[in-house]
């Protein structure tokens, strides 16, 4: 059942990405510079659409894998300790920088 939930979440993210106005505007701005729209056939449109789906799916799949890896890392106590120490060091450094000004 966990696999079905992951697929559902992935497809939901893909759908959300395709409906994002920024993504739509990006492709509307980019497409005419790459493809001659006056000579575009229905097959060409289908090929471009398939390419966009494959590329966006690959990008989202990479995000999913990175998030899964980060989740495993952040749940270990050793990693949490390192993150807390790193964050504390950054805050102390910021405090020193503020005082030094």
Range of the domain at 34: 2-100
pTM score > 0.85 for this model? Answer: no
Q: CA–CA separation, 29 vs 49, rounded Å?
A: 15
What does each C-alpha distance from 53 to 4, 40, 99 come to in angstroms? 20, 18, 51
| Residue in 37, 39, 17 with CA at minimum distance from that of residue 29 | 37
- Number of domains the chain contains: 1
pLDDT (tens digit per residue) in 30-52: 888 888 888 889 999 899 889 98
pLDDT (tens digit per residue) in 65-90: 888 888 888 888 888 899 899 999 99
């Amino acid at each position: 059942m966990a696999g079905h939930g992951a697929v559902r979440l992935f497809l939901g993210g893909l759908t959300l990405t395709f409906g994002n106005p920024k993504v739509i505007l990006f492709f509307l701005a980019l497409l005419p510079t790459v493809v001659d729209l006056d000579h575009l056939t229905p097959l060409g449109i289908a090929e471009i659409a398939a390419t966009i789906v494959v590329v966006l799916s690959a990008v989202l799949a990479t995000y999913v894998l990175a998030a899964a890896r980060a989740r495993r890392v952040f749940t270990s106590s050793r990693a949490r300790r390192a993150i807390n120490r790193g964050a504390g060091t950054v805050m102390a450094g910021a405090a020193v920088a503020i005082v030094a000004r």
